[in-house]
Amino acid sequence: MADPTEPLIRFAGVRKAFGPKVIYRRLDLDVFAGQTLVVMGGSGVGKSVLLKMLIRLLEADGGSIRYRGDEVTMMSERKLRELRRNIAMLFQGGALFDSLSVGDNVAYGLHEHYGKKLDRASNEERVAWALSLVDLPGIEDMRPAELSGGMKKRVALARAIALHPEVVLYDEPTTGLDPINATRVNHLINGLKRTLHVTSIVVTHDMSSAFAVGDRMAFVYQGEIIAVGDPESFRSPTDPRVADFIKGHAPEHEDVDTLLKA
């Protein structure tokens, strides 16, 4: 078990640029075990980059990223494979392979990480378990083309959780979904935390989702985290940059004041 007083994940002084374009001047952020951290910020500030650096889909230019105390930026290939099994990512768009059945899509990560180590029966069992967790039991034989956008999102989530990850990274999980499916995804995120004790980082600019799932929230602005704290502190933000963002991204079907006071 992780020491509950220590963060499970710690970004410290992380720098990242693409050519002349500085994304992070100094990224400091802690994620605690069993919690859902919501990361907010304008489009193009580097929210997806933050998630990708954690699993080394992108390399940080400097600073430290620790997972359970292990330095991610220095990990060997073997440790990195283990890291990617423990930290699953639900990509923006959550693309499924159209040519594969739902079951094979969900099993994809299992094949990748376990190869032939899992026999057919345990494979099928894991797939069935993951699909039932996202409330889509028994749809193994369907094709992605037959699914609605909301169902595709949930199948992508099933693919991520089939690996029994300790951490799930969600990149804009409710973007493009109608309010009903967005609410369903929020419930799933909370359900996985409750039942599997998953630690999560959720990147979103959907404010109702942010408040529905966040135990802690962080706001990225011009290369740094300029605000971090519990949801209460984000309901009445003192920093005008945070306040403007939250007011500007409240869903149209909800009254901003109700949302902020809820």
Ligand X SMILES: Nc1ncnc2c1ncn2[C@@H]1O[C@H](COP(=O)(O)OP(=O)(O)O)[C@@H](O)[C@H]1O
Question: What are the residues binding Mg ion (CB under 5 A)?
Answer: 48
Choose, by CB under 6 A, the member of 48, 199, 200, 204 that binds ligand X: 48
Contact 37, 227 (CB under 8 A): no
Task: Tell whether residue 201 is a contact of ligand X (CB under 6 A).
Answer: no
**C-alpha–C-alpha distance, residues 258 and 173, integer Å:** 23
> Which are the contacts of 139, defined by CB distance < 8 A and separation ≥ 6?
102, 131, 147, 151, 155
Distances (CA, A) of 216 to 35, 61, 227, 254: 8, 26, 11, 22
Say which entry of Mg ion, ligand X, none residue 36 contacts (CB below 5 to 8 A, set by partner kind).
Answer: none
Give least dist CB 185 to Mg ion, A: 16
Select 16 or 126, whichever has its Cβ closest to Mg ion. Answer: 16
Contact 38, 213 (CB under 8 A): yes
Would you state the structure tokens that stand for residue 17, as one six-digit string? 């640029």
Task: Tell whether residue 44 is a contact of ligand X (CB under 6 A).
Answer: yes
Give least dist CB 18 to ligand X, A: 4
Give least dist CB 100 to Mg ion, A: 25
Say which entry of ligand X, Mg ion, none residue 45 contacts (CB below 5 to 8 A, set by partner kind).
Answer: ligand X
Task: Tell whether residue 49 is a contact of ligand X (CB under 6 A).
Answer: yes
Say which entry of ligand X, Mg ion, none residue 43 contacts (CB below 5 to 8 A, set by partner kind).
Answer: ligand X
Give least dist CB 50 to Mg ion, A: 9
Select 133 or 213, whichever has its Cβ closest to Mg ion. Answer: 213
* Strand partners for 17: 22
Which residue's CB comes closest to Mg ion?
Answer: 48
Select 203 or 213, whichever has its Cβ closest to ligand X. Answer: 203
Query: What pairing do the DSSP bridges indicate for beta strands 36-40 and 21-31?
Result: unpaired
Q: Which stretch binds ligand X (CB under 6 A): 5-13, 36-44, 64-72, 113-121?
A: 36-44
Choose, by CB under 6 A, the member of 29, 31, 40, 45 that binds ligand X: 45
Task: Tell whether residue 23 is a contact of ligand X (CB under 6 A).
Answer: yes
Task: Tell whether residue 225 is a contact of ligand X (CB under 6 A).
Answer: no
Task: Tell whether residue 93 is a contact of ligand X (CB under 6 A).
Answer: no
Size of the site for ligand X (CB under 6 A): 10
Binding site for ligand X (CB under 6 A): 18, 23, 41, 43-49
